[in-house]
Amino acid sequence: MSLIPDDKAYVWHPFTQHHTAEAPLEIVRAEGVYLFDSDNKSYIDANSSWWVNVHGHGHPHIAKAINDQFKTLDHVVFAGVTHPKAVELATRITSKLPKLLSKVFFSDNGSTAIEIALKMAFQYFHNKGEERRKVVAMHGSYHGDTFGAMSIGQRGYFNKPFEPFFFDADYIDFPDCNNDQLILEQARSYFESEKVAVFVIEPLVQGASGMRMYSANLLDQLTKLAHDFGTLVIFDEVMTGFGRTGKLFASDFCTEKPDLVALSKGLTAGVMALGLTIASEEIYQTFLSDDASKALLHGHSFTANPIACAVACANLDLFEEKSTWDNIQNIETWGEKFINDLATYSNVCNTRRCGTITAFEINTGEGNTYFSDIKKQAYEFFLERGILLRPLGNVIFINPPFTIAEEDYSKITNSIFEFLASFDD
C-alpha cells in the first residue's frame, strides 16, 4: 500500500514547499550503497543521504554495536551520570583531534553542536569578565537551522522570517577569485575594530552553498589572524569530518588549530543522531568556579545517548581499518578522472574536488543559484536511472559512501555525462 496518502495527510517534510512539491520517493529498505523503493527499484545513494553515510547502509559492525549496546544500556540521564561508551568516545575522538582540544560535550545533531560551540565561546568571555559579543563568519556559510546557527550563516531566502531575531554577525567574502589578500584584509578590519568573540567557518569546503572549496593556506592565515586579536575560532566540521576531505578531519590539513570543533553527520557513520562540540582545555578552565552559574548550563534529554555513542565508537573502529582509507583514495582517483573528463563539456564550469567530494556547475547563465530549474531536471533524470543525487541548484556533486564500487561510481558519472550531453549545443 502506498505511503503517499498518509504522508500527505500527516507529514511535514524539511525544506519542502508542500503546495508545489512532488510526492516524495518511498524508500523502504537500504543495503550498502543502495536504497530501495516500494517497487524494489534500487537507487545509488550518491550523496550519502544528506552527506552522512560513510560506510554504506546496514554495515554489520555498526549493526552489532547498536544491538549489543541496546541490550547492555539503552539510555540514561547524562547529568550526574557517566557511562562506558561516552567515555570511550570522548577519549578516542580527542586523541584524533588537534591536541589542545580536550573536552567533549554531547548533543544530537550538527545545529546543536554549533549552538553549543557559540554558547561556550560567548560564556568563555562572560566568565572572564571580558565584553566580546561579535561573531565573524563567511558569506555563503551554513551552520544549521537553530537560531544561533542561523544567525551566523548566510542571511536571506532560507531564513528571512527570523532575521529580526538574529544576533549580530559580520561576514567576510568567500575566496573564489584569487582574492585571498582581500579576504585577509577584510577579516583584519573586523578583528581589529570590534571586540570579536568568535570566528566561525566551514573548513576547506562550504557544503550547502554548493560544495565551494578554498585553500588550507588561507584557512591557516584566517585562524592565525583571529587568534592574534584574541578571538576564538570554531571549525564547523559537521560536513567535512570523517574522511570527506581525504583526511579524518579538515583540520588535519591545517597548521593553525581551532579552539572549538563541531562534529555530527559521519560521526555515527550516518546512522544515529549525535553531535559533539569539542573545546580546548583553556575554554573549559574558564567554566570552573565556586560560582555554579559559571558552569555551562545546557543539556538535552538524549545527551550522550549510549547507543549513539556505541555506534560512533564502532565508526571509529572502521576508520582505523586500512580498507576505509584505500576506499577513500580510490574515490579521490575516480573523482579526479571525472573532473578531467568533464573538461570536454562546454556547459560545465568551476569543476572542483576536495577528498571524496567532487563538484561542478552547469553553466545556465544564472550563476550559482539554488533555485535553478536545472536542479529539478537533473534530480528526476538521475532518479530514472537509479541514482539518488540532489543537486544544490546548478551545482552537481558526488559525495558517496566510501564503500561504493568503481562500477557504481562510473554509473553515476556516465549518467552525468548523459545528462550534460542531453542539452549541450
Q: Position of cell 547507543? A: 307
Q: Please, which residues bridge with residue 201 across strands? A: 235
Q: Which of 143, 244, 353, 375 binds ligand PLP (CB under 6 A)?
A: 143
Residue 134 in the binding site for ligand PLP (CB under 6 A): no
Residue 111 in the binding site for ligand PLP (CB under 6 A): yes
- How near is the Cβ of 62 to ligand PLP at its closest, in Å? 18
Distance from C-alpha of 121 to C-alpha of 320, rounded to nearest angstrom = 32
User: Where does this chain touch ligand PLP (CB under 6 A) — which range of 139-147, 160-168, 308-316, 354-362?
Assistant: 139-147
Q: Which of 238, 260, 314, 318 binds ligand PLP (CB under 6 A)?
A: 238
Q: Within 13 Å of residue 39, how many CA atoms lie on the same side as its CB? A: 4
Q: Which CB atom, from 45 or from 236, has the smaller least distance to ligand PLP?
A: 236
Q: Which CB atom, from 57 or from 244, has the smaller least distance to ligand PLP?
A: 244
Residue 234 in the binding site for ligand PLP (CB under 6 A): no
User: Where does this chain touch ligand PLP (CB under 6 A) — which range of 36-44, 136-144, 241-249, 367-375?
Assistant: 136-144
Q: Do the Cβ atoms of 419 and 376 come closer than 8 Å? A: no
Q: Within 13 Å of residue 236, how many CA atoms lie on the same side as its CB? A: 28
H-only helix segments in 229-384: 281-285, 306-319, 322-342, 373-384
Q: Which CB atom, from 106 or from 142, has the smaller least distance to ligand PLP?
A: 142
The mark string for 65-104 relative to ligand PLP (x by CB under 6 A, - otherwise) is ----------------------------------------
Residue 231 in the binding site for ligand PLP (CB under 6 A): no
Distance from C-alpha of 347 to C-alpha of 64, rounded to nearest angstrom = 47
Distance from C-alpha of 141 to C-alpha of 236, rounded to nearest angstrom = 10
Give the Cα-Cα-Cα angle 225, 228, 229 (nearest 5 degrees): 100
User: Where does this chain touch ligand PLP (CB under 6 A) — which range of 25-33, 94-102, 234-242, 338-346?
Assistant: 234-242
Q: Which three cell numbers stand for residue 133?
A: 559579543
Q: Which three cell numbers stand for residue 308?
A: 549513539
Residue 264 in the binding site for ligand PLP (CB under 6 A): yes
Residue 207 in the binding site for ligand PLP (CB under 6 A): yes
Applying CB under 6 A, the site for ligand PLP has a residue count of 14
Q: Which of 56, 110, 140, 306 binds ligand PLP (CB under 6 A)?
A: 110
Candidates 34, 39, 65, 66; CA nearest to 49 is: 34
Residue 142 in the binding site for ligand PLP (CB under 6 A): yes
Candidates 262, 188, 181, 261; CA nearest to 231 is: 188
What does the binding site for ligand PLP look like in residue numbers (CB under 6 A)? 109-111, 114, 142-144, 202, 207-208, 236, 238-239, 264
